[in-house]
Structures are given as C-alpha cells and as structure tokens.
Amino acid sequence: MSNRNFQRLLAAKWAEGKFLCIGLDPIHDKLPDFLKTGNISKELFEFNRDIIDATFDLVCAYKPNTAFYEAFGDAGILALQRTVDHINTVAPDVPVIIDAKRGDIGNTNQRYCEFVFDHLKGDAVTIHPYLGREAVQPFLDYSEKGIFVLCRTSNPGAGEFQDLRILKTETVPLYLQVADNVSRSWNENKNCGLVVGATYPQEIGSIRAVAPEVPFLIPGIGTQGGDVEAAVKNGRNSDGTGFIINSSSGIIFASSGPDFAEAARKKAYGLNHEIRAVN
C-alpha cells in the first residue's frame, strides 16, 4: 500500500481551482511523425512525457486508458508504467486515474488491484458494478485509492441497459440505482466516485441528487460533444467542487506537429479557464 491518498490529493487540487483531467490515450497513428523511431514503447512514452511536462500545472489529474497501451503488449505496458512514474516524479501532487474499467469475481479483482495499484502505482481506477459489491470489495478495501464506478456513461448506446427501469419502492432507471448503492452502501471508506458522461447533463443532475457528495469523473467533453457549463452546473456538489472534467483527444491531439505539447497546453489552459468561469 502506498502513502499517497487520492482523496487528499484531489481535494488539494480542487482547492487550487483545478478540475481538469487530461486523458493520456495516445493513438499511435496520430503521433507526430518526428517521434516515430520504430520503438513503440519509447514513442508512446515520449509523447506522453511532453504532454505532461507542458500541462501538469493546469490539471487536477491524469487518466491513461489502459487499452491504448495493452494493444502493444509488453511495449505498451512499459510505456504506461513509465508514464505513471514520470507523473509521480515531475508532478507528485497530481493523482493518476487508471482507466481500466475492471470488474470480475473477487479473486480476480484482487489481481487487478495489485496490477493497477501496486505495480503501476495508480491512485484511482475505473470499475464496472455489474457483479455487485461482494465482487468489487477488493477495490473498495484500498481505502486510500479512488474507485470510480461506471454509472451513466457518455457513449451513444449507454441507455440500452443503463436506462432500463427497475422496481424498488418505485421504478427508477438502473443508473440511479447504481448511484444510490455506491453512495449509500459501497462508500464506507469515502473512496468511491461515479463516472457520469457530460453528454447527458440532465442525468448528471439526477445522479447528483441521489449521490450529493460523491466525486464525479465526467468524460465526454470535446470530441464527444459534451457541454462544459451544463456538466459543471449539474455535476458540482454543495461546496462547488466534487467533479473532474476529462478531455483526451481534444487536448493531446491539438496539433500533429513539433508544437504538439505547446498546442496541448493552450487547449488545456482554455478548457480550464472555461470550467472555472462557470457561475
């Protein structure tokens, strides 16, 4: 177990007025040509390194999605590990959310925890709730880590299951039941959060009503079309904090030339300003 505490790291960034998370999801074909040397691991890492060095003073977190690294096998995993190590070195006060969307039976989840937290040294992880609390308990037991549970995702087909109405004392959509369970019974260690997509701002508001103080990780800003103002107004808690706005390709691929890191900084600076300007 690490001495780093995700909740404290995140709260410190919110106190600085920082709510932007950059998704470090490098698509190899989109990397600047001058970085392509034939060494995949080196290329992915150096791209991420330059983005991080240009933006770490603007963000509240970074979020690498493991799929963009796993696709390249050992070389990709090495790049991911080097990326997390670099963040921890140059910006040790910036937490790292490993976007892995894990979820299985408890014994398997324990192995996922060991990879994400003990090997990669991530500060938080995304998981799905389908197997229930009993199965995800290994994640919840990492009390100093952040556990972001998929609730109302940003993709167009999210409603196929998430909007299905279930009967408890009254009929509610499944995503609201997930939010209620996470907020009321999963969050004993105060380390749970919810993933709620910016492309569904009304649903963000209804989830906030059910989970008034749980942190929200809000993807879908930028290329997916989510609105910053609506996401912030519906996602913030009673203190005006409690949310993380994530943008990935809209920032990291702002330019494909030698100025890609500078262009990423400009995009990050602009989005950070837009978030903070919401009244």
Going by pLDDT thresholds of 50, 70 and 90, the confidence category of residue 68 is: very high
Residue 220 lies in a domain: yes
* 251: CATH: 3.20.20.70
Q: Does residue 277 carry a pLDDT above 60?
A: yes
Query: Which DSSP helix (H) or strand (E) runs through 166?
Result: strand 165-167
Residue 24 lies in a domain: yes
Residue 249 lies in a domain: yes
Residue 149 lies in a domain: yes
Torsion angle in degrees (nearest 10) through CA of 36, 42, 48, 52: -120
Q: Does residue 169 carry a pLDDT above 50?
A: yes
What does the pLDDT read at residue 182? Answer: 98
As beta bridge partners, residue 203 has: none
Segment 154-168 mean pLDDT = 87
Q: Does residue 176 carry a pLDDT above 90?
A: yes
Q: How far apart are CA 117 and CA 216, in angstroms?
A: 20
Catalytic residue among 101, 121, 233, 266: 101
Domain extent for 250: 6-276
Residue 184 lies in a domain: yes
Name the average pLDDT for the chain: 95
Answer yes or no: 101 catalytic.
yes
Percent over 70 (pLDDT), the chain: 99
Residue 1 lies in a domain: no
Residue 136 lies in a domain: yes
What does the pLDDT read at residue 100? Answer: 97
Between 57 and 3, where is the model more confident?
Answer: 57
Going by pLDDT thresholds of 50, 70 and 90, the confidence category of residue 211 is: very high
What does the pLDDT read at residue 267? Answer: 97
Segment 46-71 mean pLDDT = 98
Q: How far apart are CA 191 and CA 208, in angstroms?
A: 16
Query: 243 near 215, Cβ under 8 Å?
Result: yes
CA dihedral sign, ordered 262, 263, 264, 268: positive
Q: How does pLDDT run across 118-149, given as a tens digit for each residue? A: 999 999 999 999 999 999 999 999 999 999 99
What does the pLDDT read at residue 1? Answer: 39
Going by pLDDT thresholds of 50, 70 and 90, the confidence category of residue 224 is: confident
What does the pLDDT read at residue 2? Answer: 52
Query: 64 near 24, Cβ under 8 Å?
Result: yes
The pTM for the full model equals 0.95
As for how many domains the chain has, the answer is 1
